[in-house]
Amino acid sequence: MTDLGHGTRGTSRRTAARFATLAFLMTLTLGSGAQTSELPGQAGVAAGAAAATAVAPRTPAGPPLPADFDVARFESMAQQLVADQTVPGLALAIVHNGRVLSARGYGITDVRAAEPVDAHTVFRLASLSKGFAGTMAGLLVHDGALRWDSRVSQYLPDFTLRDPAAAQQLTVADVLSHRVGLSRNAYDRDLESYVDYRTLTRKLANAPLQCQPGTCYSYQNVAFSLIGDIVFGATGTFYADAVQRRLLKPLGMNDASLGLAGIQSSARWAKPHVRGRGGWVSTTPKPTYYEVAPAAGVNASASDMAQWLLAQTGHRPDVLPAPLLATLHRPLVDTPSETHASAWRRARLSSAGYGLGWRVYDYAGHEVVFHGGAVQGYRGVIAMIPGRNLGIAMMWNGESSLPSGMLPTMLDRALGLPDQRWMKFEFDEPTLYADSDAGAQPGTVGGGGSKAAAAPH
């Protein structure tokens, strides 16, 4: 086995932690998989997804939102952002206690051929797609077709890493929680240079390992997308088809799609915009990150995202059983760098972790399930407060981080926290395509930064 530079004692501790995590996941799997155990108020539930369709209870209602959680005010803020040309167009969805409070569009789809953005205008989701990948895998675990501790090599026998023994250890849960062991954003630069996904997965065999699989966090797009190959290996169904059949269609996400052809065939879609000397310039969607569909391949509208939020907050148990959601949203690895990645994170977060396609924050003492996304010309955020049964999603078609200040503004209102003027900050958000972690160093396998992301291609 390759020496990764860690002492025996440290390795033992990480190995123990890894087994503890897998044990926990297996406990939850038994509550959400083919051997589904009885849930509160769900006596006699049979195993499998069909049983959830019949009798699974909805998530209990959260407390009423504070009086100053003013949806009309948030909608006015969104309108002001596009009126001020902060971004060309924006979509906003807010749900609470199983009700859609808002699902609207603002601004225009394209500065060259302006059409209004409405509730059904499709945006590129970038790394908000990762939540779909984790959920898709979770449904297969629920079906009994897959296990969180299934080895990747079981479905991809030719897959290898620089340390072949490490490749044999890699699990489904490791892939979805960015614990592959590679350096940050491995081969993203190559992906942005139009190297195809299959070539990049083979190149992973030569990538430096920072740790053994399952023992450290390092954000990935190429390696994360191995989950698509695993879905095919477990079911014989291509990943995009599986997501359409198991998630988009049953949830009524009728505008949603995967891939470049998907967004371009939409009845109305928001074109990507980059900064030019005279203001916003619309451009053609860059196809590269559609190559890694599990990491960054989904497209959706405000209407779609309202349905996605309802499902992720527990109000579509016919599609997503409650025990599965609990598993997806539980942090498996610490991500402390997230606590100082932007002004609102520095002020509000006391801890941060990553689950199965989702970030999980301690936000002023409240759990927040979150993800951000960015590809050329698009940005987006999604967040849920399970304790308040609240979900929020925003997408916009311009390379500005300013709209992201609306999210902590809404979270603060929902939690009754003191007012902060988050909108005045130009946040230092990660901007490398597909929501990479900030700070990768040039010249590394995963190196990148905001300048590379902002440049038109």
Nearest residue to 131 (alpha-carbon basis) of 363, 290, 325, 400:
325
Alpha-helical (H) ranges within 84-114 are: none
pLDDT at 60: 75
- With both helix axes pointing from N to C terminus, report the angle between 71-83 and 406-415 in degrees, rounded to the nearest 10: 170
Do the Cβ atoms of 207 and 152 come closer than 8 Å?
A: no
State the Cα–Cα distance between residues 90 and 377, nearest whole angstrom.
12
Please provide the distance, in angstroms rounded to a whole number, between the alpha carbons at the two ends of the chain: 41
pLDDT at 56: 44
For residues 25-53, b (16+ Cβ closer than 10 Å) or e, as one string? bbebbebbbeebeebeebeebeebbeebe
- What contacts 164, CB < 8 A, 6 or more positions away? none
Q: And the tokens for 70?
A: 């003013």
pTM value is 0.84
> CATH top-level class for 24-35+47-129+256-454?
alpha beta
Sheet containing strand 378-385, strands side by side: 99-107, 89-96, 390-396, 378-385, 366-375, 359-363, 349-354, 333-334
pLDDT at 278: 87
Residues of the chain falling short of pLDDT 50: 1-17, 19-24, 26-56, 425-433, 436-457
Residue carrying the six token digits 């025990």: 323
State the Cα–Cα distance between residues 451 and 433, nearest whole angstrom.
11
